[in-house]
Chain A
């Protein structure tokens, strides 16, 4: 158990809809990163938040957006869902930048 919790664990959405995924970081961790993992592939970096500010973004379109709250929990929002957005979305937290990141169990998103 890493102490990183994500919700929901599974969800199904229709193409064009919007989705919000949530993450509670490990106690004391002020940095949260989001990754997308397609089936059979390694996690791909979406973006990172450090003390409520975005600190780096991967090669994902603007319809992927996020937030980090004062308690360091975080949300990932995806608008205008596409079929290719179907994946496991992973949240990872760490204490400050440049340290080990610990993953939650992920949210499985299926877009139909």
Chain B
């Protein structure tokens, strides 16, 4: 279906802490997932992606985990910084076609 949901609409963390943003997807046939960061007034910025043949992928300070059994995706940000404050979206794709986006989670980083 077209519902990619997020458990928490707003997440507040202390600077330096780790952040975890969760996402539930509905289509078990989805095979490609992307996390985007969107700052106010800007377009979504690619953070990290993962395909369905993987469970985990790491980037610089970010890790994406995929649990296909429960159709769950998470984004972990290590040592969260004020510049990480933004809205984060997960997106799912199947059949090499459109991406379905959730409504986003707003991350507030407190100094």
Query: From DSSP, what is the main secondary structure of chain B's interface residues?
Result: strand
**Quick check: is A58 within 8 A (CB to CB) of the other chain?**
yes
Q: For window 56-112 of chain A, which residues contact chain B by CB distance below 8 Å?
A: 56, 58, 90, 97-98, 100-106
Which single member of B4, B32, B34, B43 contacts A90 (CB below 8 Å)? B43
- Given the complex, which residues of B lie within 8 Å of A25, measured CB to CB? none
Indicate if the CB atoms of A42 and B102 lie closer than 8 Å.
yes
Interface residues on A, range: 20 to 34
Q: Which residue of B lies closest to A96 (CB)?
A: B96
Complex Cα gap A43–B2 (Å): 12
| Total CB contacts across the A-B interface at under 8 A | 54
Interface residues on B, range: 20 to 34
**Quick check: is B25 within 8 A (CB to CB) of the other chain?**
no
Indicate if the CB atoms of B101 and A44 lie closer than 8 Å.
yes
- Given the complex, which residues of A lie within 8 Å of B103, measured CB to CB? 40-42
Indicate if the CB atoms of B101 and A48 lie closer than 8 Å.
no
Which single member of B43, B45, B98, B102 contacts A33 (CB below 8 Å)? B98
Residues of A within 8 A of B (CB): 2, 4, 33, 35, 40-45, 48, 55-56, 58, 90, 97-98, 100-106
Residues of B within 8 A of A (CB): 4, 32, 34, 36, 42-46, 49, 89, 91, 93, 96-104
Q: List 7 A-B contacts (CB under 8 A).
A: A2-B43, A42-B101, A43-B44, A45-B100, A55-B97, A90-B44, A106-B42
